[in-house]
């Protein structure tokens, strides 16, 4: 019973945060983030949909302005945009798609792209930052 109430509060909190982010971040910025992900990481609409937990067609509608980005997805996009900026501080934009597509021991033989598509872009950034700081 208590756990259900906690999830209800968490859902309400996430919605409220999403609405504040939508107001401050703006729909145009969300669309710019989607375009940046597609351009820099070579992601398709379906890839972005998988990452955001929606269909590729939904992402297409967001980017083409025929549908608004909901607050909960807006909050997710803000975090993804921040993580992408951190990746761009580590790697050249023109090389990033190639880098994340290589299998690496750092990701237990998987590619960073696979983890990114699974919604774990923050984990990818943290691992790269740690590995590069350790080497430096």
**Per-position pLDDT tens, the chain of length 136:** 555 666 577 667 766 666 666 666 667 888 899 999 999 999 999 999 999 999 999 999 999 888 888 888 888 898 999 999 999 999 999 999 999 999 999 999 999 999 999 999 999 999 999 999 876 5
Contacts (Cβ under 8 Å, ≥6 apart) of 39? none
Give residue 46's domain range.
Answer: 2-135
Domain count, the chain: 1
CB distance 115 to 124 below 8 Å: yes
């Amino acid at each position: 019973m208590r756990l259900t109430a906690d999830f209800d509060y968490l859902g309400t909190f996430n919605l409220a945060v999403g609405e504040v982010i939508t107001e401050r971040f703006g729909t145009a910025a969300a669309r710019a983030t989607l375009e940046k992900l597609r351009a820099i990481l070579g992601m398709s609409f379906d890839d972005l949909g998988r990452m955001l937990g929606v269909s590729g067609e939904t992402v297409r509608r967001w980017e083409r302005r025929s549908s608004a980005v909901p607050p909960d997805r807006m909050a997710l996009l803000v975090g993804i945009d921040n993580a992408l900026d951190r990746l761009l501080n580590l790697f050249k934009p023109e090389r990033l798609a190639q880098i994340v597509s290589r299998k690496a021991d750092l990701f237990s033989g998987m590619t960073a792209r696979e983890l990114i598509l699974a919604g774990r872009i923050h984990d990818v950034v943290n691992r790269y930052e740690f590995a590069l700081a350790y080497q430096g």
